[in-house]
A = this chain, B = another copy of it.
């Protein structure tokens, strides 16, 4: 890869993902989304995804934030045995920093869902999203269970309803699915528009598959897929207390997939959902793809790309349609990666604005106002590894949304 080439590869490349279908794209799953009343707006805010089997495999990854929300604590216990039958998700309240009472709320939620579905509470994953530091009203949950169970369906509409009910500041529902030539499928939905950062973004993701697979393998595949997709979406450097990605396997296709193919397809679905998250990030006007190439290790490449993605100065420059490569280099210079400052090349949308650490092609050759897509390529010229981080610009709308969110 040379500095003048555009980054064209992405994780899961070559697997045709359909963003028109979500969690019900895989056989053996039903879903629903209803208005329970958590949101003052009256918009849908309670979603349910049920795995009707025959298998009940589950793998999950959670936020690495040490201040984890109550539903994260609950759900970690649920998935520990590799089995789960349902995921209940609410928007309109994160149930984070809510102490013992908050944990009891998540536990009771699982019990009520279990009772309605005639399954054990220990097979019900619970996810919450919204404002931190407020107790969730238990009555609202209780009143919402019967309607959401009644609304369960296996069609596309049901999947879309669930994807819609988990939205907070998201402006669009986010879905992705893949069907293999052999006949097994993956389906997924995601929410998240702020607090998007590594160790997972601020997001809830449910992915379904009808492939035959055990829980250990599902988890292993999920970790691998997340590491190059969700973990590399970094909107604002802020790590959430509630991030959860759940992958459930029903085995309903009766097909055991080839493992490398399954990982690639799962990665493609995760990549699509992660891209949809970044594209809908709060207030963003540009989607920025930052690739560092020719690093001595993938870790070095990731560190450099992430440092640039975290630079408020670079992100405001992009908002101002200014290909300010000096701010790229000043961010690169804060890392411990192996490179020679006098050898760095920076290419923005195909124009090498910085060559050998100094002024390259005239930057007025780069017109950032032409579209949403910004591709930054940093060539370290010391190795053969690369990594991409996806982020967005820092805009007035970001400041507006986040200064007004809880009040």
Contacts and interface: CB of A to CB of B under 8 A. Distances in A.
Interface of A: 65-68, 94, 96-99, 102, 131-135, 194-195, 199, 236-241, 310-313, 316-317, 319-322, 324-327, 329-335, 339, 341-342, 344, 354, 356-359, 394-396, 398-400, 402-407
B68 A342 contact: no
Contact of A195 (B65, B313, B319, B332): B313
A341 B66 contact: yes
Contacts of A98: 358-359
A131 to B, nearest CB: 7
Nearest to A344: B67
Contacts of A68: 333, 341
Contacts of A324: 132, 405-406
A339 B404 CA distance: 30
Given A311-B238, A312-B312, A341-B67, A97 B354 contact: yes
Given A236-B313, A407-B320, A241 B334 contact: no
Interface centre among A312, A325, A327, A398 (most CB of B within 10 A): A312
B66 A333 contact: yes
A330 B65 contact: yes
A395 B394 CA distance: 11
A239 B330 contact: yes
Nearest to A333: B67
A133 B99 contact: no
A329 B97 contact: yes
